[in-house]
């Protein structure tokens, strides 16, 4: 009897879905994209309707023979790639390469990888959406036209190996524009006056608010003399409560996560890069084994989405859990609905949520690594809070009179927690960020109450420049302007750093000198390419193609004509630019030649002017001061020389301290150190009786920075790892971090900050945008 073939794009999804479907289905992975434009050459026939020329990717060739054979033997082929445009495109390419007939081939999609969701998808198959495919093809061709026509010009005029992109260049423009704002910024002085008051032994503060009917603003007191005049007026004044206004205020929960909001919160609260967030989210979506013998199951819904829609079934399950755990009063009068802010959002998609709302973070903690647990907890809390009742506060605003002046004090107390029962700590951070926190806890006050003045506090302030973008704020800005899509945010961040156009220091983006030169040239000769509004309109055009309201060829034609004219003009108008090192007074410690200031994606440094004959370099900080290695007490165990503390770059290019031998490069001995500077010596691997579930080899017990774990002895050919210790009859369990007691679901706290795992050298890279290797 012929079986049905179901093709997914990820081997992890293959392993997760296979056991769910049984013997009547064969589940296989395409291992990501199987066709793309050629690496060499434009690959687009601009004279023939911008027709792309696709080639089979080398890594896909060895897998295609098996897929062709299985497709030929199957009675039905289901293309179950991801439910976004990129997934639709992969399904279309599979149908073409495998030469699948329309009658035999069906497309299925699902928001979550659970048995029920897969079965539901199989009952409602459809044809490939040609309009979604056309939009993705147009996007790919558009990006190729920009990259392959613009990049060679930059090679010729500035430096070989440079690149420009339709979206990445706009991201660099945003960062450079912000740097220009900071450089032009001039701080303005202003003063505030705060009264420390007391009633019946309870102190509170109130800020100067008005003089008679005239309210003060931020810049009412630009100099100390203006505040001194008020202090003189208030000398000997008596203070009394003029009015008290109690109110009840409600705070509603935020919508469940989209890709952008997840990346922003993960960056802000967990300090994960957007790339790391997407890799972990992909793991949670594709499946984790959370019950012995039942196989892996997807813990969250699809993680590349700009929709905040929630399935009714999920809402019902969440409501049941909330009612049982927190009580009926923690449910809203009717299920909450949220409106997607993005005008290009695909409403058929869902928000990012747990696939089973009743599956609490603590219930799966033993089966997740620390990074997975923290991200799942963040997603679970956000979703559950989004389905709960408002938090209710009793607020009090009190005006205090003194002579002709009014001071104002405000405070609030939590009357009913509502969604804060599950999202409290995180929500409080949001309140502070939004300026919605109470500065004081007020004593009981009534109009006419006399108050004792303890102190008047004048305070000088200066306005601050706009902050440099971090990953979270850059994603937010791009989303607000309609630049890019959920699947592109992470690769854009990676690309602009990897190309050396910007560097990420202390989690903030700084434009490099190279980035500013390239941005400046693009701004002069290709203003539309780096224009935020123009790029957003192009995204709208691609959305129109997906909605069958525009033709891809027409959109490409309208873009390419003016763009090609600009290319031809810039070929003669753009001058050649040589980026020279910045001069310094430093002499090379090895050859005494002058040193210049250079920079790369990791930061600025001094380099010998005799390079490559002399390769001496000295790292410097942002102010230009040399970073001198700290002395350590350690002696190199290999050569006996002293060891010093140096700063390198860890995962996400974060500064990472370590100790290194002073005999480098002859001796390359290094050790990791803890936060106190002590050398970390980990024990050697120990053999165990555990067998690798992938290759059958022995598992070794190893110790990492988070404690012991099991790793396959076949490393690096097999990279399988498992938590330690394995529990008999159950999946291996990871003990909670030392000093952190477990808490019941109703009182769980958000995960603390933690560093991100650094991939082993030579490990297989995973695309942050697709999760595909």
648-653, long-range: CB within 8 Å, 24+ apart, which pairs?
649/602, 650/755, 650/758, 651/273, 651/276, 651/755, 651/756, 651/757, 651/758, 651/759, 652/273, 652/275, 652/276, 652/504, 652/756, 653/497, 653/503, 653/504, 653/601, 653/602
Query: How is residue 653 written in tokens?
Result: 């290019």
Sign for the CA dihedral angle at 377, 379, 380, 385 comes to: positive
Which residues sit opposite 594 in a β-bridge? Answer: 587
Question: In three state form, how does the secondary structure of 85-125 look?
Answer: HHHHHHHHHHHHHCCCCCCCEEECCCCECCHHHHHHHHHCC
Which residues sit opposite 400 in a β-bridge? Answer: 241, 407
Q: Residue 459 in contact with residue 224, Cβ under 8 Å?
A: no
Which residues sit opposite 597 in a β-bridge? Answer: 582, 606
Q: Give 189's contacts (C-beta < 8 A, 6+ positions apart).
A: 222, 223, 460, 461, 462
Which residues sit opposite 686 in a β-bridge? Answer: 701
Active site residues: 302
679 class by beta-carbon count within 10 Å (0-12 exposed, 13-18 middle, 19+ buried): middle
Among candidates 412, 26, 9, which has minimal Cα distance to 204?
Answer: 412
- Residue 770, CA atoms < 13 Å, CB-side half-sphere: 21
**What separation in angstroms does the CA of 393 have from each of 185, 234, 416, 646?**
39, 34, 7, 50
| β 25-29/4-8 pair status | parallel
The Cα–Cα gap between 91 and 109 comes to 11
Among candidates 652, 271, 276, 650, which has minimal Cα distance to 498?
Answer: 652
The Cα–Cα gap between 605 and 618 comes to 6
Q: Residue 712 in contact with residue 719, Cβ under 8 Å?
A: yes
- Residue 50, CA atoms < 13 Å, CB-side half-sphere: 21
The Cα–Cα gap between 450 and 107 comes to 75
The Cα–Cα gap between 137 and 88 comes to 10
Among candidates 350, 383, 370, which has minimal Cα distance to 272?
Answer: 370
Query: What single string gives the DSSP state of each residue in 410-437?
Result: EEEEEEE-TTHHHHHHHHHHHHHHTT-S
Sign for the CA dihedral angle at 317, 322, 327, 332 comes to: negative
The Cα–Cα gap between 88 and 129 comes to 7
Among candidates 124, 140, 128, which has minimal Cα distance to 94?
Answer: 128
518 class by beta-carbon count within 10 Å (0-12 exposed, 13-18 middle, 19+ buried): buried
Sign for the CA dihedral angle at 77, 83, 88, 91 comes to: negative
SS3 percent helix, strand, coil of the chain, rounded to 5, is 35, 25, 40
| DSSP 8-state class, residue 745 | G
Q: Give 403's contacts (C-beta < 8 A, 6+ positions apart).
A: 233, 234, 237
């Amino acid at each position: 009897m012929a079986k049905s073939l179901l093709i997914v794009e990820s081997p992890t999804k293959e392993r997760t879905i296979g056991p769910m479907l049984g013997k009547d289905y064969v589940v296989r992975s395409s291992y990501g994209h199987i066709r793309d434009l050629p690496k060499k050459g434009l690959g687009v026939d601009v004279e023939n309707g911008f027709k792309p020329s696709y080639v089979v990717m080398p890594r896909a060739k060895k897998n295609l023979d098996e897929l062709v054979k299985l497709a030929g033997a199957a009675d039905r082929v289901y293309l179950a790639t991801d439910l976004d445009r990129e997934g639709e495109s992969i399904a279309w390419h599979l149908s073409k390469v495998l030469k699948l007939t329309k009658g035999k081939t069906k497309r299925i999609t699902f928001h979550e990888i659970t048995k029920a969701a897969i079965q539901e998808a199989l009952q409602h198959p459809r044809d490939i959406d040609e309009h979604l495919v056309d939009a993705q093809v147009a996007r790919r061709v558009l990006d190729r036209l920009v990259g392959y026509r613009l990049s060679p010009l930059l090679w010729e005029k500035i430096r070989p190996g440079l690149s420009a992109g339709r979206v990445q260049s706009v991201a660099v423009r945003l960062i450079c524009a912000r740097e220009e704002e900071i450089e032009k910024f001039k701080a303005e002085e202003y003063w505030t006056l705060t009264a420390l008051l007391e009633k019946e032994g309870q102190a509170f503060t109130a800020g100067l608010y008005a003089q008679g009917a005239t309210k003060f603003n931020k810049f009412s007191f630009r100099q100390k003399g203006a505040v001194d005049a008020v202090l003189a007026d208030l000398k000997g004044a008596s203070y009394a409560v003029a009015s008290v206004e109690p109110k009840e205020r409600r705070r509603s929960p935020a919508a469940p996560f989209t890709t952008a909001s997840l990346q922003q919160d993960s960056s802000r609260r967990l300090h994960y890069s957007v790339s790391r967030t997407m890799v972990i989210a992909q793991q949670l979506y594709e499946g984790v084994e959370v019950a012995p013998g039942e196989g892996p199951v997807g813990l969250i819904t699809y993680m590349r989405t700009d929709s905040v829609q929630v399935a009714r079934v999920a809402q019902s399950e969440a409501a049941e859990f909330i009612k049982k755990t927190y009580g009926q009063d923690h449910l809203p009068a009717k299920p909450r609905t949220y409106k997607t802010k993005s005008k290009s959002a695909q409403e058929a998609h869902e928000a990012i949520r747990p696939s089973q709302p009743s599956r609490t973070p603590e219930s799966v903690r033993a089966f997740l690594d620390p990074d997975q647990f923290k991200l799942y907890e963040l997603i679970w809390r956000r979703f559950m809070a989004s389905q709960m009742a408002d938090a209710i506060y009793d607020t009090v605003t009190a005006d205090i009179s003194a002579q002709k002046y009014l001071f104002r004090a405000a405070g609030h107390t939590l009357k009913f927690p509502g969604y804060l029962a599950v999202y409290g700590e995180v929500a409080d951070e949001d309140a502070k960020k939004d300026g919605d926190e109470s500065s004081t806890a007020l004593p009981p006050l009534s109009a006419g109450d006399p108050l004792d003045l303890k102190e008047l506090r004048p305070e000088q302030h200066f306005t601050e420049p706009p902050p440099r973008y971090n990953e979270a704020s850059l994603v937010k800005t791009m989303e607000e302007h309609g630049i890019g899509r959920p699947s592109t945010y992470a690769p854009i961040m990676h690309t602009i750093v990897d190309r050396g156009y910007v560097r990420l220091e202390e989690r903030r983006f700084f434009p490099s000198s190279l980035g500013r030169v390239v941005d400046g040239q693009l701004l002069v000769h290709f203003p539309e390419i780096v224009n935020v509004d123009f790029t957003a309109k192009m995204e709208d055009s691609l959305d129109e193609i997906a909605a069958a309201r525009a033709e891809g060829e027409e959109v490409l034609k309208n873009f390419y004509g003016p763009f090609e004219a600009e290319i031809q003009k810039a070929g003669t108008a753009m001058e050649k630019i040589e980026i020279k090192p910045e001069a310094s007074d430093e002499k090379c410690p090895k050859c005494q030649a002058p040193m210049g200031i250079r920079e790369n994606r990791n930061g600025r440094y001094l380099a010998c002017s005799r390079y490559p004959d002399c390769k001496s370099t000295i790292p410097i900080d942002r102010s230009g001061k040399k970073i001198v290695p700290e002395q350590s007490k350690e002696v190199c165990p290999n050569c006996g020389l002293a060891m010093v503390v140096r700063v390198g770059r860890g995962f996400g290019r974060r500064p990472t301290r370590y100790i290194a031998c002073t005999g480098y490069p002859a001796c390359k001995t290094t050790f990791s150190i803890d936060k106190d500077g002590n050398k970390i010596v980990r024990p050697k691997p120990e053999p165990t009786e555990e067998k690798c579930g992938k290759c059958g080899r022995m598992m070794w017990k190893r110790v990492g920075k988070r404690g012991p774990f099991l790793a396959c002895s076949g490393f690096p050919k097999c990279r399988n790892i498992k938590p330690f210790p394995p529990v008999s009859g159950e999946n291996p369990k990871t003990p909670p971090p030392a000093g952190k007691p477990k808490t019941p679901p109703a009182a769980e706290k958000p995960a603390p900050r933690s560093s991100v795992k650094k991939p082993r050298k030579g490990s297989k890279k995973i695309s942050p945008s697709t999760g595909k290797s």
